[in-house]
Structure 1
Amino acid sequence: MDTPASFERDRAELAEEIRQLRAASGMSGVVVAERLGWSQSKVSKLETGRATPSLEDVRKLVALYGVGQEKRDALETSTSELNDRYRSLRMLRKRGLEQEQQGIKRVESSTTLLRVFEPSTVPGLLQTAEYARAVFSRPLTGAGVDVPGAVAARIDRQSVLFRPERRFHFVITEAALRWRMGGSSTMTAQMDRLANLSTLSNVRLGLLPWRVEVSEFPNNGFDIRDDREVAVENFTTHRVLTDPRDVDFHLRMFQLFADAAIYDDEARTFLADLVREHA
């Protein structure tokens, strides 16, 4: 596992590479800041390792410096890996999920069409407060979390569902609906919540029963934001994929699962059957 020391060392090495590229270009930090519309302090922080550059930051810098493709690819890979580790370290340092939920809300609020595939849990946008409380109270992944703050922030995110200009398409596996988060009353309320939200005109809710044969196996959940990026998360890291090839792959994977799912009255009947089982 990464340590803060190893992370800081690798960030410093990336910062030095960025500084050397600027020096080789003959530009000053002030000129770089002016051309990119940044503050001069941002350029300085990226070059001294006091801030972690985003993938977009690095892409702008290498384009400005005229860096060759091979070096460009290597820097982008290093930056992506560093950001993955940074998100992991944020969790290890227990900086709190309330801020994370607020960040997700900002992204979701600027997304016209959000497609979500979930094989193991109910998506956050659809969770009841008690279900969310159970999610954030898990002993390992929830260790050190401010549970009330995280729950409140997650519920606050859900207001975007009631904005008719935003569209949502969820596909949830039967396994996610059967995996108990909380007691019977929590699961019953969660099934009712899903049934109610499925009646919104801008929300399409698909359920993927075990009985349906699907040609692909779901390794993990993912969110597709419009057609521009894909968010993929595991226990310790969160990645945002922007390569058009990755986005296209996940779009095709989502469509495969969506085509196999059940919707509308058939889905609500399925949820009602689960309620009777949980009762």
Structure 2
Amino acid sequence: MTTPESFERIRAELAEDLRRLRTDVGMSGVTAATRLGWSQSKISKIETGRATPSSDDVRQLVGLYRPGRDERLALETRVAELNDRYRSLRMLRKRGLEHEQRGIKRVESSTTLLRVFEPSTVPGLLQTAEYARAVFSRPLSCAGVDVARAVAARLDRQSALFQPERSFHFVITEAALRWRMGGTATMTAQMDRLANLSTLSNVRLGLLPWRVEVPEFPNNGFDIRDEREVAVENFTTHRVLTDARDIDFHLRMFAYFADAAIYGDEARAFLAELTREHA
């Protein structure tokens, strides 16, 4: 089953609007590209929805096509939102992942209930400093990251866990707990931190052992912020989905995993067992 992708829909609508503006003024793609000093392929990719234009790209295009003020403002607002919702992790690394961590903290500060599902790593809010250091030191997916600043920013986010008015529900797979991020000491400390945090009254920590049957395959991790948006990340991109259908899909998916997970003393006993195996 595929989720409805609101991002792709909005990008397609923007692409069509930009193509229409060009044809309305009787301009060919080649002419538009020449006047802007772009390649014709760039115009083509933007107008067919194969590339996401930047805010500056759209400002240049509307400056060339000269639509009415309301339409120009609507296009500029839409592309700004589009780029905010779909971000290249390569560009984020250039800006500094500590900056991105601060941005996530601002979003999380306005979230009453945060649901997090992670199939491959311990969630950032639950990581120890050494585990986070190992995460940010990966040679390919985190190349170029200022590790010390990224770790400090991630740990700063964790103060939210100790605010009783906030609620957190984490579901983590056994696979995430078995991947060795760092050495034995790092994994032992990480298991201990998970056990300790699971005793907080506003934190619900569920673990999903391999022995448990689940109705869906855990394809990727995701964060659900209240019921207003879902954050999804892969190796190269970060998306925030706000379409109600996307949110509903992920809420139902989270419920499947959460219902199959183990909690409380059973989860802590499982962590102790994993700690002995890591030793």
TM range (shorter): 0.7 to 0.9
Partners of 1:120 and 1:9 lie apart in 2 by 29
SS of alignment partner, residue 94 of structure 1: helix
CA offsets, 1:177-224, max 9 Å, x none?
000000001000000000000000000000000000111101100000
Partners of 1:130 and 1:259 lie apart in 2 by 31
Work out which structure has the larger RCO, using CA pairs closer than 8 Å and 6 or more positions apart in sequence.
Answer: 2
CA offsets, 1:15-70, max 9 Å, x none?
3565689833x5598xx6xxx9xxxxxx9xx49xxxx9333xxxxxxxxxxxxxxx
Match of 1:10 among 50, 53, 59: 53
Partners of 2:149 and 2:189 lie apart in 1 by 21
CA offsets, 1:239-268, max 9 Å, x none?
000000000000000000000000000000
- Once the two structures are TM-superposed, the CA of residue 168 in structure 1 deviates from its matched residue by 0.1
Q: Match for residue 277 of structure 1?
A: 277
Runs of 4+ in 1 over 6 A off after TM superposition: none
Q: Confirm or deny that 1:129 pairs with 2:172.
A: no
In structure 2, the CA distance between the partners of 1:16 and 1:112, relative to structure 1 (3 Å rule), is: same
- Once the two structures are TM-superposed, the CA of residue 94 in structure 1 deviates from its matched residue by 2.0
Partners of 1:224 and 1:270 lie apart in 2 by 26
State the superposition RMSD in angstroms: 2.8
Q: Confirm or deny that 1:54 pairs with 2:80.
A: yes
In structure 2, the CA distance between the partners of 1:89 and 1:140, relative to structure 1 (3 Å rule), is: closer
Q: Match for residue 98 of structure 1?
A: 98
In structure 2, the CA distance between the partners of 1:180 and 1:13, relative to structure 1 (3 Å rule), is: same
- Same amino acid, percent of matched pairs: 72
Q: State how many pairs are aligned.
A: 231
The alignment's TM-score, normalised by the length of structure 1, stands at 0.75
In structure 2, the CA distance between the partners of 1:206 and 1:15, relative to structure 1 (3 Å rule), is: same
- Once the two structures are TM-superposed, the CA of residue 233 in structure 1 deviates from its matched residue by 0.2
Q: Which runs of 5+ in 2 are unaligned?
A: 1-38
- Once the two structures are TM-superposed, the CA of residue 141 in structure 1 deviates from its matched residue by 1.3
* Letter in structure 2 aligned against 1:54: A
* Letter in structure 1 aligned against 2:91: R
Q: Which runs of 5+ in 1 are unaligned?
A: 37-42, 56-78
* Letter in structure 2 aligned against 1:10: P
* Letter in structure 2 aligned against 1:178: R
Q: Match for residue 268 of structure 1?
A: 268
Partners of 1:9 and 1:54 lie apart in 2 by 11
Q: Match for residue 249 of structure 1?
A: 249
